[in-house]
Structure 1
């Protein structure tokens, strides 16, 4: 994923994108411990910040092996709605 972002950076490692963009990162994993893969989303947030994005929220779901697992997580659905409104 990171190699796809190189086209957005100039030779001086400055973002070619207009400032002021916002982002929400959403992750889902089968492993119930969200800290197991926490670094991947944090690294992605760092890349987005380098490109000038404001990362509004990182929403993480552990134990999401079933396609409809999030339906049982009202807290995450509410968080996603709030994050969407913040964009």
Structure 2
């Protein structure tokens, strides 16, 4: 099993990355081959809404998304991690998801092979883990639209300073178990 994690935080070593790495460790301990991608290190444009991919089956933009598309197609499990900024995922995470439009086939069907699984990890400063529930639900529905089975999102609430996630043993355990479940089916 291959599990690929995408970190949508621009802050190296931040809470999002800490939680995603712990989930990846769980997946690796369950026998998965793992890869970690920092979206902030990739150079790609926003979706241009041109519709080229609807006819051609691929995006016409030639940028780092080309390699990311291949990774998404080849992986069995996806971990998508993002901080919550003003009630939404980070801008780079939103741009990444928007570019998934290229995976949409005619009549809003998915071009991705069935059987993929995903986990969503969100780090937020607000101490109420349910405050951005609709955003987490939207991400899950988007993944499910592409035929990807999504586990309940892991929300790290009340994480303000770099390193707060690593200090929360229960949260780290939950991240680890999420990755382990993702890899073991």
TM-score, shorter chain, exceeding 0.5: yes
Unaligned ranges ≥5, structure 2: 1-93
**Contact 1:49–1:55 (Cα < 8 Å) also in 2:** yes
Pick one of 91, 96, 106 that aligns with 1:11: 106
Query: Are residues 1:76 and 2:171 paired?
Result: yes
Query: Are residues 1:23 and 2:118 paired?
Result: yes
The 5-angstrom pairing of residues 37-76 of structure 1 reads 37-76=132-171
TM value normalised by structure 1: 0.90
Moved over 3 A (4+): none
**Contact 1:30–1:62 (Cα < 8 Å) also in 2:** yes
**Contact 1:9–1:15 (Cα < 8 Å) also in 2:** yes
Task: State the Cα distance separating 1:69 from its structure 2 match.
Answer: 0.7
Task: State the Cα distance separating 1:65 from its structure 2 match.
Answer: 1.0
Larger CA Rg, structure 1 vs 2 = 2
Query: Equivalents in 1 of 2:161, 2:106: separation in Å?
Result: 43
Unaligned ranges ≥5, structure 1: none
SS in 2 for 1:44: helix
Query: What count of residue pairs does the alignment treat as equivalent?
Result: 87
